[in-house]
Amino acid sequence: MGNTIAEKILADHAMLDSVIPGQIVTVPVDIAMANELSAALSIKELYSWGINTVYAPDKICLIPDHFTPNKDLNAAGISKIVREFAKKHNIKWYFEVGRAGIEHAVLPLEGVILPGQILIGGDSHTCTAGAINCFATGVGSTDIAAAWATGEVWLKVPHSARLSYNGKLNPHVYGKDLILHTLKDLTTSGATYMSLEYHGDVFDQLPMSDRFTMANMAIEAGGKTGIFDFDQKTKELVESTPGFKNEKPSYKTFAADDDAEYAIVREYDVSKIEPQIAKPFSPDNVCPVSEIKNIKIDQVVIGACTNGWLDDLVRAADIFKGRKVHPDVKAVIIPGSQTIARKAFDMGLPQVFVDAGCVFSTSTCGPCIGGHMGVLGESEVCVSTTNRNFKGRMGHLTSEVYLANPAVAAASAVMGRIGSPVDL
């Protein structure tokens, strides 16, 4: 019996010929990442053990991004703790506000993490990096602290799901629609603690950004990680990053065996998929956008870690160009990182957004978690390109969030109601 991608990466790191689902392995960590919230807890835990050093400063990444730029005194205090820890221990991959962005965009775009490696992060959407053929997963702050101290983590080898997407995409259908359609099929608990392997010829039609979007939302199906094959598109992205160009590191890539065993196998004909939307209050409460009628909205959020990639901003700008945001709607645009923002400025995208009546924000997780920069008030309705729409996720418990792709979100902002670009 052959092995899946996740099994091969874990076996390689554990220096074993092979591993099987359910097996516990202790593996070296290539990068242990935390944002300011999870890092502050990890730092407290580490020091409570009487440990005042870290195992490998070059394998730690710290990125303040959740309540940054600091929204209040408490957030400022937490960020200060992390900043001082990074300076004290000479942490190689510390990214200050204004020089990074949202952790899940920064790691792959800056070359912090590479194919074939193991990334653990103090955030559930750490699985985003699996788009570049690495094993990336979220863990608790105690696990992060332990990895900082020892350089290792223990993991249970996950079962794997093989998800294949083939056919010709319809207009305005992107990776977000494919993963929402998949969530409707699998549900939010249908792939619990599994590695979601994404395959199919549709990815020849889509840029890397859509892979990041789909890997990001593996956790919404209950997954442990989401992983893609390595191909020429992956190679071009990885080897164009500052981290790779500066150090020219070697890396390994992994592909599943033809006879690998999967707990779930799905085949999706993408030609049958139209733009999708997830209704309140779950990412798997999905239907085609065309089935939503006359729902007025108060806010649109485009960006964040799920759909804040440059391609997403271009898709939204194509809708906004020459149009105006509806008078009753607030529209917030959040690039995934400073690198993405710089490229957006070079293309003139912020001008398009501002001319349309949008806010072009700094890179932050703020509104996605109901923290700042776009918190929803009582009974407000939002269309968002983020990844979760549970009750109270983006603000008041009576507010409602619909999840959609950037083109759908932009079209909805213009119309003042949920709708598709074809409605414009």
Q: What is the pLDDT of residues 348-363, one digit of tens each?
A: 999 999 999 999 999 9
DSSP code for 325: -
Indicate if the alpha-carbon torsion angle 270, 388, 216, 404 is positive or negative.
positive
One domain, residues 40 and 141: yes
Give a yes or no: residue 117 inside a domain. yes
Let me know whether 83 and 220 are in one domain: yes
- Residues 123 and 250 placed together within one structural domain of the fold: yes
Tell me: do 203 and 322 sit in the same domain: no
Q: How many Å from the N-terminal Cα to the C-terminal Cα in the chain?
A: 52
Q: Does 24 map to a domain?
A: yes
pLDDT tens column, 289-323 = 999 999 999 999 999 999 999 999 999 999 999 99
Task: Identify the CATH number of the domain in which residue 38 sits.
Answer: 3.30.499.10
Evaluate whether residue 67 is within a structural domain. yes
Average pLDDT over residues 317-342: 98
pLDDT range class, residue 52, cuts 50, 70, 90: very high
Asked which of 267, 300, 330 is the last residue of a domain, the reply is: 267
Task: Specify the pLDDT at position 109.
Answer: 97
Residues 12, 98 share a domain: yes
Structure tokens at 161: 């799901």
Mean pLDDT of the chain: 97
Q: Are residues 376 and 247 in the same domain?
A: no
Please tell me whether residues 206 and 351 are part of one structural domain.
no
Model confidence over 84-98: pLDDT tens digits? 999 999 999 999 999
pLDDT confidence of residue 1: 81
Instruction: Using pLDDT thresholds of 50, 70 and 90, give the confidence band for residue 3.
Output: very high
- 336 and 400 share one domain: yes
> Would 272 be classed as within a structural domain?
no
pLDDT value of position 179:
98
Q: Give the model's pLDDT for residue 143.
A: 98
**What percent of the chain stands above pLDDT 70?**
100
Structural domain for 163, as ranges: 5-267
Residues 412 and 358 in one domain: yes
Per-residue pLDDT tens for 241-262? 999 999 999 999 999 999 999 9
The H or E element containing residue 150 is helix 141-150
| Structure tokens that stand for 35 in this block | 């944002």
Q: Is residue 423 part of a domain?
A: no
Give domain status of residue 194, yes or no. Answer: yes
Q: Does one domain contain both 13 and 78?
A: yes
How many domains are there within the chain? Answer: 2
Q: The whole model's pTM is what?
A: 0.97
Residues 153 and 209 in one domain: yes
Residue 164 lies in a domain: yes
Q: pLDDT, tens digit, for every residue of 351-402?
A: 999 999 999 999 999 999 999 999 999 999 999 999 999 999 999 999 999 9
Nearest to 65 by CA among 55, 73, 75, 57: 75
Give the domain-ending residue among 267, 293, 310. Answer: 267
Residue 274 belongs to a domain: no
Which of 242, 267, 292 is the last residue in one of the domains? 267
> Which one, of 113, 105, 126, 132, lies nearest residue 342 by Cα?
105
**In this structure, are 297 and 381 located in the same domain?**
yes
Q: What is the rounded CA–CA span in Å between residue 232 and residue 148?
A: 33
The reported pLDDT for the residue numbered 86 is: 98
In this predicted structure, the answer to whether residue 285 has a pLDDT above a threshold of 90 is yes
Q: Is the pLDDT of residue 166 over 90?
A: yes
Q: What percent of the chain has a predicted confidence (pLDDT) above 90?
A: 99
